[in-house]
């Protein structure tokens, strides 16, 4: 399917990488956090640089996951179907007008 056919980008990637680190002892926080970040950094050269939308709530990452062209199309849809930004407690795409809430 062509990349522009859906809101989901990077469909050609062979793998999806989402590190999740879990440990029981709070005294291990610094060590385990550093290990998780080091592992993610080691994998970064193999990635697309984008994020899968289900894994992020950060507005800049949402735009980056779609790309500028798709993001603009999604904003246009949001303007039509959710101009008051009612559905904003997710990987939000804000409507493109000043009356938006949230």
The pLDDT assigned to 100 comes to: 43
The closest of 83, 90, 84, 96 to 59, measured between CA atoms, is: 90
For residues 55 and 42, membership in a common domain is answered with no
The pLDDT assigned to 37 comes to: 93
Segment 47-60 shows an average pLDDT of 72
Question: How far is Cα 17 from Cα 34, in angstroms, rounded to an integer?
Answer: 18
Exposure string of 29-66, with b = 16+ CB inside 10 Å and e = fewer, is eeeeeeeeeeeeeeeeeeeeebbbbeebeeeebbbbbb
Q: Using one digit for the tens of pLDDT, what is the confidence trace for 66-80?
A: 778 888 888 999 999
Domain that holds residue 26: 16-47
How many domains is the chain built from?
A: 2
For residues 99 and 68, membership in a common domain is answered with yes
pLDDT beyond 90 at 83: yes
């Amino acid at each position: 399917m062509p990349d522009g056919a859906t809101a989901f980008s990077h469909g050609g990637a062979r793998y999806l990488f989402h590190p999740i680190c879990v440990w029981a002892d709070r005294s291990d926080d610094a060590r385990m956090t550093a290990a998780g970040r080091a592992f993610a950094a080691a994998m970064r050269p193999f990635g697309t640089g984008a994020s899968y939308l289900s894994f992020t709530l950060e507005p800049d990452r949402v735009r980056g996951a779609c790309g500028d062209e798709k993001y603009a199309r999604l904003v246009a849809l949001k303007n039509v179907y959710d101009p008051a930004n009612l559905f904003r407690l997710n990987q939000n795409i804000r409507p493109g007008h000043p009356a938006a809430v949230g």
